[in-house]
Structure 1
Amino acid sequence: MSQILNERSFNSRPTPAANDTAVAPVPVMRPRLPAAEEIFPYLSEIDANHWYSNFGPLACRFEDRLSAHFTDDTGCVAAVSNGTVGLILALKALAPLPGDLCMLPAFTFTASASAVLAAGLVPWFVDVDPLTWALEPGRAKDYLKSAPGRVAAIMPVSVFGRPVAVSAWDELSLETSIPVVIDGAASFDGAEVGQAPVILSLHGTKVFGVGEGGAVLSTNKALISEVHSLSNFGFPMSLERKAAGRSALLPGINGKFSEYSAAVGLAGLDSWSATRQRFLEVRDAYLDALADLPALQPQPGGCEDWVSATINFSIRRARATSLIFELDQRGIQARRWWGDGCHAAPAFSSYPQSDLPVTEGLVDSVIGLPFYVGMTRDEILRVRAALAECLE
């Protein structure tokens, strides 16, 4: 078993005594944002500035630091009120053709399709690659040949945080003239930045969170400016356009990023390196502990050099729904994070969809296990013991 399981830095707690009658359940997630003392200096700046929203100094600094984190350039980030709003604004900026289709994978969270509808487009659900669980450019190109209508946009999705190869999607977009908007909600760690916007969720449950927030990443600075404007009721943001006065040039919404969210985000960036390392340590210890259970396989790319706030496995010889029930009886929480697939939700089941054999296999064979910073050696071993018992 990994050395990390024996180190004090892993937050080990003693195993409960044999006569303990109650052992707390192992939660599927235990979110953790920066501590109050880490955020306080930034809150003091807000008090001094009397500036609380509307592209304040902390929000602008947060965007600059995110740009530096992901690129060697500036101006490549638009912070917004949440990830779903980021998807809506990017779609509105790139695909303003109401009623046309947006291709997206059925194996995704419901926010993807909600954003498509809110942007005035119609979700068209397609299947994913069995080797990556994701919609890949080659498969998307093939689907375009049999599209049930005009396709205004394509929305690939990061699968549980695995980074998306933006360069390949940029090539497809250039070839087809169809905009690509990438739902990279959980892919903060390792996100690639290109022309196609990648939208990150900064929700408190993500590997890097601010409570509620999102970010649009793109080297297309005109797009970033457009997203800023759309998030501010459509008011112009560039100096040239501001000269026209306070008049909405676009049909925007209020999707701005507050100074308080920026305070949490800046504190999170200060400690990101250490936070990331702790996630990696727990993940590697987890994978080591479960390595001798052949019925469990990490998600594609799950052993690569990126980390998310969840850990997901495919299972053999068992249904995910049944295994989740059996684990719950043993005090272990688990989830099918994307349920029966986005296409199966009552809100979206009437929209066009391709044949979905891969998705239908994944929704009942993929399980999210407990995973969080501070997870102890005993908790990991409890999960392993319960899995071994259930899978027998």
Structure 2
Amino acid sequence: MSHPQGIPLLVPQLPDRLALQPFLDRIDLSRHYSNFGPLVQELEQRLATDYSTHASLPLEVVTVSSATAGLELALSSLELPPGSRVLVPALTFVASLTAILRAGHLPVICDIDPDNWLLTPDIADDCMRESDCQAVIAVATFGQAQDTRAWSAWQQRHGVRVIIDAAAAYGSQWVEAVDIPVVFSMHATKSLAAGEGGFVVTGQPGQRRMIKELSNFGINLSPDTDHPVGHLSYAGTNAKLSEYHAAVGLASLNSWQTQADLRHAVFLQYRETLQQACGDALIWQQGPAPAAPTTFSVRLGSSGRRSKLEQLCAVSRISTRRWYQPLLHQHAAKVGPIVHLPTPTAEAVSADLIGLPFFPMLTRGQMAEVSQHVAMAVTA
């Protein structure tokens, strides 16, 4: 039987007022609201400590107003020639594309691995033979972690810089290679949520300093340079994280492990319920389940099955989403110039990929209801 109020696609889980209160009290006391305040500094330090435990050398963190801004500024920090070609997978959120364009570069849209749905170093090797690129944005799609050590070796072999877009992979994506900057999101729908915000993890202090300055209009903040403090060093933007967002981020960090354990358990139970209902009819993204998943996607085997499921779910008020569609090269031409390499795998994956409802408080009954609808779509 359908739930009378339907099943939403996502339900954000942010800290409540009681969890926020100690941090808000500190803001009231300091009267520091933006411009790299004490809560922002504490959040960056706590994150840097966590990431450094998984790396061979210390890592640094710089917060930004969104992961999209973080991608754009990380690209700018590479100081590539204007119009450089940047490789990016076809199956990803549009921010991966717009960041390249807004940084003044040319997106080269490429294919993905048929099993894990990621842009891999092997695929990048093939793409380099077809289109000379100066940088790569590799995406941790649906929270599936990228191998930073493999990308570091690839970067050294080709002399081409690599950035990882790990917007949805907090808790799963570690930064084991200190020469690969990784960008994370703290949007309300993510597992480490600040309402809005993001951060960049890097093992290169100069890169962190440049991203920080770029987030503050490009104003020089260091007295240890030849350029006077307060003068523009770059044409930056205003992408600083506020103290209020840092307060939410810190409160979220305090409860993150509990939330992550719940998300992980729900994800595994949901997948088992679907497999019991559908057998081998579904196609899953290969790789370990994310530590704190934020979405739930599966392939149904044909576009016809997907359309049928969407119709069934619409009647029962079960929300679904065709995540990351249209593919990057299928957006309006006026968005910006692109280079489109062959993407047969991405097109095959996108033809039957569907995002199902997923949130920490998803009940077994809701999982069963969704699974019944999926079974009707794939077994008829």
**Common fold: TM-score over 0.5:** yes
Partner residue of 1:92?
76
The 8 Å contact of residues 312 and 367 in structure 1, kept in 2 or not, is answered as: yes
* 3-state secondary structure, aligned to 2:46: helix
Question: How far does residue 298 in structure 1 lie from its aligned partner after superposition?
Answer: 2.6
Question: How far does residue 87 in structure 1 lie from its aligned partner after superposition?
Answer: 0.4
Distance 1:364 1:30, change over 3 A: same
Partner residue of 2:144?
162
Task: Detail structure 1 runs of 4+ shifted over 4 Å in the superposition.
Answer: 347-350
The superposition leaves residues 246-266 of structure 1 with CA deviations (integer Å, 9 ceiling, x where unpaired) of 101112111111100100010
Residue 151, structure 1, aligned to residue 151, structure 2: no
Percentage identity across paired residues of the two chains:
32
* Structure 2 CA distance for aligned equivalents of residues 324 and 158 of structure 1: 26
* Structure 1 CA distance for aligned equivalents of residues 263 and 3 of structure 2: 28
* Structure 1 CA distance for aligned equivalents of residues 227 and 108 of structure 2: 41
Partner residue of 1:171?
153
Partner residue of 1:387?
374
**1:20-39 equivalences in 2 (<5 Å):** 23-39=4-20
2:356 to 369, 373, 380: 369
1:342 to 314, 317, 328: 328
Residue 237, structure 1, aligned to residue 221, structure 2: yes
Residue 283, structure 1, aligned to residue 264, structure 2: no
Could you tell me which amino acid in structure 2 is paired with residue 339 of structure 1? Answer: Q
Could you tell me which amino acid in structure 2 is paired with residue 61 of structure 1? Answer: E
The 8 Å contact of residues 232 and 253 in structure 1, kept in 2 or not, is answered as: yes
Partner residue of 1:360?
347
Partner residue of 2:284?
298
Partner residue of 1:254?
238
* 3-state secondary structure, aligned to 1:247: coil
Partner residue of 1:327?
313
* 3-state secondary structure, aligned to 1:77: strand
* 3-state secondary structure, aligned to 1:363: helix
Question: How far does residue 231 in structure 1 lie from its aligned partner after superposition?
Answer: 0.7
* 3-state secondary structure, aligned to 1:156: strand
1:201 to 157, 160, 185: 185
The 8 Å contact of residues 107 and 339 in structure 2, kept in 1 or not, is answered as: yes
Unmatched 5+ residue regions in structure 1? 1-15
Structure with more of its chain in helix, by fraction: 2
* 3-state secondary structure, aligned to 1:186: coil
Partner residue of 1:12?
none
* Structure 2 CA distance for aligned equivalents of residues 241 and 39 of structure 1: 38
2:168 to 163, 186, 190: 186
More off after superposition, 162-171 vs 339-348: 339-348
Unmatched 5+ residue regions in structure 2? none
* Structure 2 CA distance for aligned equivalents of residues 341 and 230 of structure 1: 30
The superposition leaves residues 206-255 of structure 1 with CA deviations (integer Å, 9 ceiling, x where unpaired) of 12211110110111222111111111111223341398231011121111
The 8 Å contact of residues 230 and 251 in structure 1, kept in 2 or not, is answered as: yes
* 3-state secondary structure, aligned to 2:358: coil
Partner residue of 2:37?
56
Partner residue of 1:139?
123
Question: How far does residue 93 in structure 1 lie from its aligned partner after superposition?
Answer: 0.5
* Structure 2 CA distance for aligned equivalents of residues 350 and 344 of structure 1: 12
* Structure 1 CA distance for aligned equivalents of residues 290 and 70 of structure 2: 26
Could you tell me which amino acid in structure 2 is paired with residue 187 of structure 1? Answer: A
Question: How far does residue 273 in structure 1 lie from its aligned partner after superposition?
Answer: 0.9
The 8 Å contact of residues 163 and 189 in structure 1, kept in 2 or not, is answered as: no
Partner residue of 1:313?
298
The 8 Å contact of residues 107 and 337 in structure 2, kept in 1 or not, is answered as: no
Could you tell me which amino acid in structure 2 is paired with residue 128 of structure 1? Answer: I
Could you tell me which amino acid in structure 2 is paired with residue 307 of structure 1? Answer: A
The 8 Å contact of residues 51 and 59 in structure 2, kept in 1 or not, is answered as: no
